[in-house]
Amino acid sequence: MNYKKIKLNLENPLSFWSHFSGEERFYWYDRQKEQLIIGAERLCAVKNQTNEYPYLFHTQSFFEGEMRAPWQNMGGETLAFKHYYVKTSHESLYLTCTEPVTIEPKKVLEVTHSLTQKEDDFEDWARLFNQIQESFKAGESQKIVASREIDFTSSQDFCIESILHKLSKNNPNCFIFAYQKGEKTFLGASPEVLVQKADDEILSYALAGTISKTEINAAERLLNDPKNQFEHHIVIDKIKAQLLKKTSQVTVEETGLMELKNVYHLRTLLHAKDHSTSLTEWGVHLHPTPALGGEPSDYALNFLRHHEHHERGLYAAPLGIIDGQGNGTLVVGIRSALIEGKTLRAYVGCGIVPYSDVRDEFNETKVKLKTILEAL
């Protein structure tokens, strides 16, 4: 496919997003690589990896199979687009395989939404938490990642441009993403790389174990906390085992801290060498790590399907960008929300292990929820 390359400098890159209002589109900002990519107007869904398109935007649902409401027809595809805007530290380009359009510069929008939260869900959380503890007592699992869906309404339609702008500003260590199809937009600021591929270099994050930065000596306490270390090591061990199924060249770095706006996480980087597995195949192979599902994985998935009342959809599932060489990054869609008009459903979860406390874990989800709330 032939894409024209046109130099385009936009002071506010979201002008490109705004131009394609109502169209299927995605937004991807990788601060580490200083790379912003916006794609608009679906060209096609791509089944097999190909170097025909400059970028592909990929989403995979959390569970295999059809998604229930409110997620029907939302994602689970690898997509090529007609128009792309690509901005890095050295270039700013408009790529298109059809007639170029004129992008009108728009001002940065900062809207403060007036919000109502639907209801307090602590009772539901406690019920789920107790069911998880029963599964531990029965010896059926070691860890399950429970999640909440929290509904908000706004007095006016949610302004996606403003939310993306604030997400980028507030979360320098995260990947900012959005995918809009029809009336729905899924967006968020994820700190967690499921898999990154640069030729034969494969990278995955074990990210699990959390403390609020408001706690005294938070960083030190997290590093030395047995409960958090336990839930973190389950994730390292599983990712390592999955990497070793594909390649014998795997290295595990020392565990350190990842600092975000409101929390610290325990993070361990895992590296592998491989050139025979594509990025999307890695996504399927590694998902869900016990940072999002649980251990054993099949038990946790089955448990979550039956006991969590909401559909996870794209929450906590692989999503990201693949370039023309098959390289790219898949993160997991956490610290995220699904927006439709005046309705916003935010998703947050946390790993539950035998020593977890029901209230502490609920509070942890509240701190994680701030990523979305502070962008509204």
Ordered alpha helix ranges (H), 58-152: 122-137
Q: How far is the CB of 110 from ligand ISC (least distance, A)?
A: 25
Catalytic residue among 143, 166, 238, 368: 143
Nearer to ligand ISC, 200 or 357 (CB): 357
Closest distance of CB 221 from ligand ISC, Å? 14
Cα(42)–Cα(159) distance, rounded to whole angstroms? 22
Distance between CA atoms of residues 151 and 141, nearest Å: 30
Least distance in Å: CB of 364 to ligand ISC? 7
Binding site residues, ligand ISC, CB under 6 A: 145, 147, 192, 207-210, 265, 291-292, 316, 334-335, 348-351, 368
User: Least distance from C-beta 93 to ligand ISC, angstroms?
Assistant: 33
* Residues 11, 106: Cα–Cα separation, whole Å: 9
Structure tokens at 222: 């997290």
Nearer to ligand ISC, 147 or 168 (CB): 147
231 belongs to the catalytic site: no
Question: What phi-psi label fits residue 323: left (phi over 0), alpha (psi between -120 and 50 degrees) or beta?
Answer: beta
38 or 163: CB nearest ligand ISC: 163
Going by their DSSP bridges, the two strands 294-295 and 143-154 should be labelled as antiparallel
- Tell me the two tokens of residue 266: 């325990």
Distance, CA of 334 to CA of 145 (rounded, Å): 12
The span from the CA of 314 to the CA of 306, in Å, is 18
Residue 103 contacts residue 15 (beta carbons within 8 Å): yes
Comparing CB distances to ligand ISC, the nearer of 77 and 295 is 295
Residue appearing with tokens 């995260």: 174
Least spacing, CB of residue 231 vs ligand ISC, in Å:
7
Retrieve residue 199's tokens: 């030729």
Closer to ligand ISC by Cβ: residue 145 or 322: 145
Say which of 192, 231, 295, 364 is annotated catalytic.
Answer: 192
Residue 79 burial (10 A CB sphere; 0-12, 13-18, 19+): buried
**Tokens linked to 300:** 């946790």
Nearer to ligand ISC (CB atom), residue 174 or residue 334:
334
The answer to whether residue 143 is catalytic is yes
Least distance from C-beta 37 to ligand ISC, angstroms? 24
3-state secondary structure of 284: helix
Q: Terminal CA-to-CA distance of the chain, rounded, Å?
A: 39
- Decide: helix, strand or coil at residue 252: strand
Q: Which residues are catalytic?
A: 143, 192
